[in-house]
Amino acid sequence: MKKSRIAGTGSYLPENIVTNADLEKILDTSDQWIRERTGITERRVAKEGETSADMAEVAAQRAMKSAGVNPEDVGLIVVGTTTPDLVFPSTACLLQARLGLPDCGAMDVNAACSGFMYALSVADKYIRCGDVQTALVIGVDKLTAMVDWNDRGTAVLFGDGAGAVVLQASDEAGILSTHIHAAGRHSDLLGVDVGVGTGFKEEPRGGVLIKMKGNEVFKVAVRTLGRIVDETLEHNNMEKTDLDWLIPHQANYRIISATAKKLGMTMDQVIVTVDKHGNTSAASVPLALDEAVRSGKVKRGNILLLEAFGGGFTWASALIKY
């Protein structure tokens, strides 16, 4: 059976930087509180009219360039996003046309902050079963479009961006395993409680806004990520000491360091971008991966553990020989 490997990575961040000092002007918050409780110092906010497809298009082009892949080579596009440009066509279909891809399968996966990890898992399976040779996998979100700028509990957390990878069939394992989970029973702790089915045609009362019981989410996230890293290592008969890098979802520095501690890793074995990006939802893991590759930290042959946790709840991981 074929395996899939990461042939190239790419990412995109909007130009506009919003600092904690900027947020101090509009919210009852402080730079000190935000840094101490989250590790965030700034985040990028997409400009009016700049959409998920716009951000994803640039990230995808960069990933294809770094992989040396032409549009006609791509046999599948999977986009993890919670903020599609349209209800349909999917963001994947919009991108397929913009990027000049062939008439390959194109789909969005909505798993909130775990969206990229879910998309990676889907594309990996298509390559393993031999149906697809080259897949484009993207994580993109514009969560700031759904942020309640009056709610200090959420407004300070989120940023926008996109990250992408090109997966290719390979005889040698690159992606060693992927693991996906969900627990819909926790849907009241984190979500956006309007949609087409709730009468989206009427102006939604209060707007389309993210609602989160942050402290409860925090506790579940730490526990759940602790479990999935164990599951991932056990599945591959690997020890914590076999890992070179942890590339975690960038929601909160305290959640990231709890997972690193559980793995016995020092923080210099962890890719941290939450300070500069905030929580970019489905984009956070591929953005961190791309930064780590381009900065020369992550090298070919390194063993990487990727993980994410988000609304749903959803959570997912991948063990990768880069």
Q: Under a CB-based contact definition with an 8 Å cutoff, are residues 142 and 192 in contact?
A: no
Six token digits for residue 277: 């990006």
9, 66, 224, 279: which one binds ligand UT7 (CB under 6 A): 279
Neighbours of 295 (CB within 10 A): 9
- Per the annotation, the verdict on 186 as an active-site residue is no
**According to the binding rule CB under 6 A, does residue 37 interact with ligand UT7?**
yes
Neighbours of 177 (CB within 10 A): 17
- Distance, CA of 57 to CA of 20 (rounded, Å): 29
Considering only residues 40 to 99 of the shown chain, the ones binding ligand UT7 according to CB under 6 A are none
CB of 29 to ligand UT7, least distance (A): 3
**According to the binding rule CB under 6 A, does residue 115 interact with ligand UT7?**
no
CB of 170 to ligand UT7, least distance (A): 31
| Residue with smaller CB distance to ligand UT7, 34 or 318 | 34
CA pseudo-torsion sign 110, 154, 291, 230: negative
Catalytic residue among 20, 113, 252, 277: 113
Stretch that binds ligand UT7, among 54-62, 64-72, 202-210, 250-258 (CB under 6 A): 250-258
**According to the binding rule CB under 6 A, does residue 215 interact with ligand UT7?**
yes
- Distance, CA of 9 to CA of 60 (rounded, Å): 8
**According to the binding rule CB under 6 A, does residue 38 interact with ligand UT7?**
yes
Q: Where are the beta strands (DSSP E) in 157-282?
A: 160-170, 175-182, 190-191, 211-212, 245-248
**According to the binding rule CB under 6 A, does residue 306 interact with ligand UT7?**
no
Q: Please report, for residues 7, 105, 130, 154, 190, the alpha-carbon distance to residue 181 in angstroms, rounded to integers and kept in the order given.
A: 26, 24, 24, 24, 16
Catalytic residue among 110, 249, 252, 277: 249
- Per the annotation, the verdict on 215 as an active-site residue is no
Neighbours of 47 (CB within 10 A): 10
- Per the annotation, the verdict on 279 as an active-site residue is yes
245-248, strands of its sheet edge to edge: 175-182, 314-321, 303-310, 245-248
221, 229, 287, 292: which one binds ligand UT7 (CB under 6 A): 221
Stretch that binds ligand UT7, among 130-138, 166-174, 247-255, 263-271 (CB under 6 A): 247-255
Q: Where on the phi/psi map is residue 237: left (φ > 0), alpha (ψ -120 to 50), or beta?
A: left
Considering only residues 136 to 175 of the shown chain, the ones binding ligand UT7 according to CB under 6 A are 152-153, 156
CB of 153 to ligand UT7, least distance (A): 4
| Residue of minimal Cβ distance to ligand UT7 | 214
Element (H, E) at 74: none
| Residue with smaller CB distance to ligand UT7, 109 or 113 | 113
CB of 50 to ligand UT7, least distance (A): 21
Nearest 5°: phi and psi at 234? -60, -45
User: Taking the CA atoms of the chain, what radius of gyration do you get in angstroms?
Assistant: 18
**According to the binding rule CB under 6 A, does residue 251 interact with ligand UT7?**
yes
User: What is the set of active-site residues?
Assistant: 113, 249, 279
Interface with ligand UT7 by CB under 6 A: which residues? 29, 33-34, 37-38, 113, 152-153, 156, 214-215, 217-218, 221, 251-252, 255, 279, 309-310
